[in-house]
Structure 1
Amino acid sequence: MTTRRHLLHTGAALTLGSLAGLSAPLAHANTVIRLVVPYAPGGPLDVSSRLIAEQAQAHGLGTVIVENKPGAGGNIGSDYVAKAPADGTVIGLAAVATHAINPWLFSKMPFDAAKDFAPITQVARVPNVLIVNADWAKQHGIATLAQLIAYAKAHPDKLNYGSGGNGSAGHLAGEYFKQRAGITATHVPFNGANPATLALLAGQVDFNIDNLATAAPNIKSGKVIPLAVTTATPSEMLPGVPTLSATLKGFEIDTWWGLVAPAATPADVIARLNKAFVAALNSTHTKARFAAMLATPAPTTPQQFGALMERERARYAQLVKASGAKVD
């Protein structure tokens, strides 16, 4: 009996010890979770991260603190997450740039985007929109995407477009558009999205492909005209604006971001993080705040978000190679 009782106690202790090793960091309300955003404060990715960090605390997590670690196109913050303890106390924001574009853009990467992270959930997606300078469009009689393509074909090498820099999402979306439309247009890189927007407003470039959150104020003011959104279906946020795929079948590209943890994070910890953040994303408060930012909450399972990142890496491998962009 003593031996049996001893074995039962020992087995129970081992089981509890194993579970504690997996889940203890997230088991208490006073646990501090650090959500690393690999970009500077103030942008849509940072604002949305702070919003869901606050909301997730009401859904079973401890205190969630957002930390900004910008630099190297997002690689510094992402590398920090990749090398953090795999216990759920450090998670990170994964964006199209850090986890789909940078692996092909940078000649040397400090982390492996495919192997060093465990997906938690996608957070949001924002439509990209092809916009033209309103004065330029009026001068050339361009009010539709088909008319822009026809103008480009009739005036080879006359068009140019701006982006936030070589290898940026706007640059690669522009290259994808050129390939699919069979046109030529000169890429003009700027040091960030804001200078690229100012160049479009000043008539220094003819069109940009930008995310809707950035483009919306100038669309509303009438300074730029939206010709098409890049998502597979029309956006409720731009009623009446068609998709690029209506003219170029199958064209689809947008801005997305989500949450990841270090690769070795236990499955039960990932499941708890997923449950809390999905609940946060589904809250009425979050949906209203995201709508104000022209973003759509996109909660998923870890497996779904992992599959999305894998597909996007494959897509951008081709686009980066075709663009010739490189960061050494």
Structure 2
Amino acid sequence: MANNKLPPEQHEGILDIATHAVVADIGGTNARFCRINLATFELDRIQVFPCADFPTLTDVMTAYSQQQDVPLEHVAIAIACPVDTDEINMTNHHWQFSIRNVRKSMRLKTFVVLNDFAAAAMSIVTLKPSELKQIGGGKITPKAPKAILGAGTGLGVGHLITLPNGNVMPLPGEGGHVDWAPTNEKEWAIHRFIQNRFGRVSAERILSGPGLETLYLALADYHGRNVAPLSAAKIGQRALSGIDTLALETVNQFFESLGGFAGNLALNLNTYGGVYIAGGVVPKLLNLMATSNFRARFEHKGRFCKVAEAIPCFVITAEYAGLRGVGQYLKQTIEQQNL
């Protein structure tokens, strides 16, 4: 780490000084594109595409370029899957592609691909205080490690560390796929229900949009009730309105499990820089999060409860944080390549 470089992200082409670039944040459900000014860091021409509407990544890239009249020269994308080789295979969608082949077929000068939660981690340094809602804990230690997690189509996890030169380095991983550990009788019943359905119970089976839907059915089974499946959006709406006690219990259980998981993540690197929660699920349910046992479970760490109590949690409320993280990563990469 003596040269203070970012880890070897997957990129193709010559990285040169550019004023504008196109960046994208691609999840299992939506692909968000925009143009970014790498000098001022302003975003414009933002457009969101449903992934299911396009057979391939290049199809949606072409659609964005044509509809927004933006040339594709320097492009960076964050994508919801491991980014370890030239071949990319999305975890929760069917897109597969070669980074090298995309750059050549689209005639791009630069094409950088990074894990979506590497981008989410990078976004932390771009956020304003008004774009963060603190949930317990003390003050951050600015240069200490940070953790980020987010529930959406899946469960993303990452960390961020500060290098001696002041740059930041994301540490992506697949922490959303670790085993989910029940802690009481109700959670053991939930575990058995999910295990019977899927064989293995990962954290993502609980802490995601689809996980919220499964959790609703698991709790109905626990109470001996026969209910029709509901979408995650409907469960959230019914819980917020107070018209469905099962939906409310589902959301509260979701936040309890999220708190335990986030607290475990905090202990992995002693993240005194904070734990940051992104994704599409939590910001919509903030009012219920405040009254849930999220923070109690976060801090329930036995002999290390004092450590957990000191670490603050934040919910990211910025709408396009992932896109800013991609831009920050690209800008830092370009600067380093031109040293």
Q: TM-score range by the shorter chain?
A: under 0.3
Taking structure 1 as the reference length, the TM-score comes to 0.28
Structure whose alpha-carbon radius of gyration is higher: 1
Q: Compute the TM-score of the two structures, normalised by the length of structure 2.
A: 0.27
- Higher relative contact order (Cα pairs below 8 Å, separated by 6+ residues): 1
Larger helix percent = 1
